[in-house]
Structure 1
Amino acid sequence: MVDTSAPFVSRRTLLALPLLGLASPALAARGKVVTLLGDSITAGLGLPAADALPAQLHLALNRLGVANIVRGAGVSGDTTAGGAARVDFSVRPDTAVVVVALGGNDLLQGLDPRATRANLEKILGRLAARRMGVVLAGITAPPEIGRSYARDFNAIFADLARTRRLAFYPDLLAGVGRNPALKQSDGIHPNAQGVRLIASRLAPVVAKALAQRA
């Protein structure tokens, strides 16, 4: 964390704080805080900070006329188990809405969908106890991975959103996952153009969730 009261903090650092999700009290007054709890997609692996999802979601919300501060809490390689272990300290108390965007690494590792669901239940339970708004972002398993597995995995997110009455974004990689032109050379992570598409589609869901927060 950058201490903005320290004399050695440069003007360049202060100007970069909104992109890094670190805000002084004056900056915080400009909008409600959205925290992205996720993995390498939300961490912006392979991209400069200005092209990563936290910065692009911030801009997309601005375009909708929503004052906001978007704070990245993505850890590359994180599974839902990792998210459950760190949710209390990764999501700061001033957060109004948390976008929970985990599960992609569970899918890549072929983890038991029952374990993925249990971990997400822990995360959502902790956020509910802290009275925070939630947007649950799903990940769609391709049928090539096995129809039975894909069916069980894909059902997790919709079921949790329905039973917990959460704002729901069904597939974080919708429009990107099967389009090579929107992905980096690894064939997995979105490039800058792909991230902008994700942000533009996710922003209305987040905006609605923010509007419901007192």
Structure 2
Amino acid sequence: MLGLMVLFGSAARAESPVILVLGDSLSAGYGIPVEKGWVSLLQRRLVERGFPYRVVNASISGDTTSGGLSRLPAALELHRPAIVVLELGANDGLRGQPPMAMSRNLSQMIERSQQAGARVLLAEMRIPPNYGPLYAQKFQATFGELAQHYAIPLIPFLLDGVAGNPALIQDDGLHPRAEAQPQILDNVWAVLEPTLKS
């Protein structure tokens, strides 16, 4: 099952290269109008700055790297993306999954995306310190290690400038508010834009 695929842009732009965002609630826009989420804002920025890409949001709230791995082949086949943005792992951490298992899943997603001809960007995730410093450190390090191993761009902590700011986080203490989405987009854009230009 592909889950909810949100496509931006008109049918006339169907030939445009695709940026596939495979993520969880942080990219699905949990708790906010979908048009205010960073993925929707990304499509607008691409248009404003003259990049002829079409964004497909294949993010599902609550998804894990295991879920993403199971959904990825069909998404690659359907959309044939030029770029894949992987934003998964937070739910693995919140569930206390072993970082090695998360790493294996992300590795397979990177490899399958590359085999399909896509360039891959990996978003770094972090977890709250109450999970223990050793686990939190191993969890965070996984993303940098994978980016280095596969020589792919790493988006430093997706929620940089957002996490820890109560004004930007919903009452559940986890999910960003609509007001936080432009900052998240800026975090992604700093790494995505050079990829678009290369």
Match of residue 66 from structure 2: 81
Match of residue 58 from structure 1: 43
After superposition, the CA RMSD in angstroms is: 1.9
Deviation by residue 1:69-118 (Cα, 9 ceiling, x = unmatched): 21110011110000011111134343111110000101111111111101
Match of residue 23 from structure 2: 38
Gaps of 5+ in 1: 1-18
1:97 matched to 2:80? The reply is: no
- 3-state SS of paired residue (1:110): coil
| Paired residues of 2:80 and 2:116 also in contact (CA < 8 A) | no
Match of residue 162 from structure 2: 176
TM-score (norm 2): 0.90
The one-letter amino acid of 2:154's match is F
| Paired residues of 1:60 and 1:199 also in contact (CA < 8 A) | no
Structure 1 residues 166 and 128, CA gap change in structure 2 (3 angstroms): same
CA distance in 2, matches of 1:93, 1:49: 20
| Paired residues of 2:6 and 2:58 also in contact (CA < 8 A) | no
Match of 1:136 among 119, 122, 131: 122
CA distance in 1, matches of 2:65, 2:91: 8
Post-superposition offset of 1:207: 2.0
User: What's the % identity of the aligned pairs?
Assistant: 36
Match of residue 67 from structure 1: 52
| Paired residues of 2:8 and 2:55 also in contact (CA < 8 A) | no
- 3-state SS of paired residue (1:95): coil
The one-letter amino acid of 1:85's match is S
Post-superposition offset of 1:24: 4.9
1:125 matched to 2:108? The reply is: no
TM-score (norm 1): 0.83
Post-superposition offset of 1:127: 0.5
CA distance in 2, matches of 1:32, 1:49: 22
Deviation by residue 1:35-72 (Cα, 9 ceiling, x = unmatched): 11001111111111210222111123344443322111
The structure that has the greater radius of gyration is 1
